[in-house]
Amino acid sequence: MYAPPDLYIPQTPADRRPLVMWFIVAAAALLFIALIVGAPLALAEGHGLLGLTIYQAFSYLCHQIPERSLFIAGHKLAVCTRCTGLYAGFAIAVFLYPAVRSLRTTDTPQRTWLFIAAAPTAIDFSLGFIGIWHNTHLSRFSSGALLGTVAVFYVMPGLAELSLRNWVLLFGRSRQGSGDQAAHAAVLSNCTSVAQSDYSAPHRRI
């Protein structure tokens, strides 16, 4: 006796949870870039309340010093040049991540690479702080972009593991799916228990 076709359960079901997590992170990164660039554009178009609200929100993340910020349409970006590079590098790396590594990968590179990526930012800031080196917009942006790019390869594996192990805690996944699978498994068990097995009659084996 065989189970009906509609009760067939694939042996390797497609798990799209890491893909959904990647989409959420990519959308958030794109939103951050849009807000950073949108703040000065909002002021330039006369939407003062919107622009100032964005500036105020990012003031908790960045010092927003004008001399250390890039300008668009006569107004500074919502964050400084280094933070702009950090967010831009992170966003670009997130969008390219699926082409480099599997979204289901949960292992991270050695932490040494993260420290190496952070070294240019630390050196550029430290030398500029003590007056030995006068950092520029290019040095701030490039060092921040390097750190943001490498950080993706440590953030995404952790989020992939989180999505695979704790999806119920994150999004409140319904128990109906697991209940249906249990019912299907019970039906299949009953079907297989009724069917005769060749192992019960060794003389009929081929």
- Average pLDDT for 95-106: 94
Question: What is the predicted pLDDT for the residue at 167?
Answer: 57
Query: 57 versus 131: which is more confidently predicted?
Result: 57
Whether residue 176 is predicted with pLDDT greater than 50 in this model: the reply is: no
Considering 91-100, 165-174, 195-204, the range whose residues carry the highest mean pLDDT is 91-100
CA–CA separation, 118 and 152 (whole Å): 13
CA–CA separation, 36 and 78 (whole Å): 5
Query: 123 versus 201: which is more confidently predicted?
Result: 123
Angle 81-100/17-44 helices, nearest 10 degrees? 150
**10-14, 34-38, 95-99, 139-143: which has the minimum mean pLDDT?**
10-14
CA–CA separation, 99 and 86 (whole Å): 21
Residue 75 β-bridge partners: 72
Compute CA distances 172 → 167, 175, 176, 185, whole Å: 7, 9, 12, 23
CA–CA separation, 78 and 34 (whole Å): 10
Whether residue 36 is predicted with pLDDT greater than 60 in this model: the reply is: yes
pLDDT band (50, 70, 90) for residue 165:
confident
Which residues in 66-94 are b (16+ Cβ under 10 Å) and which e? Answer: eebbbeeeebbbbbbbbbbbbbbbbbbbb
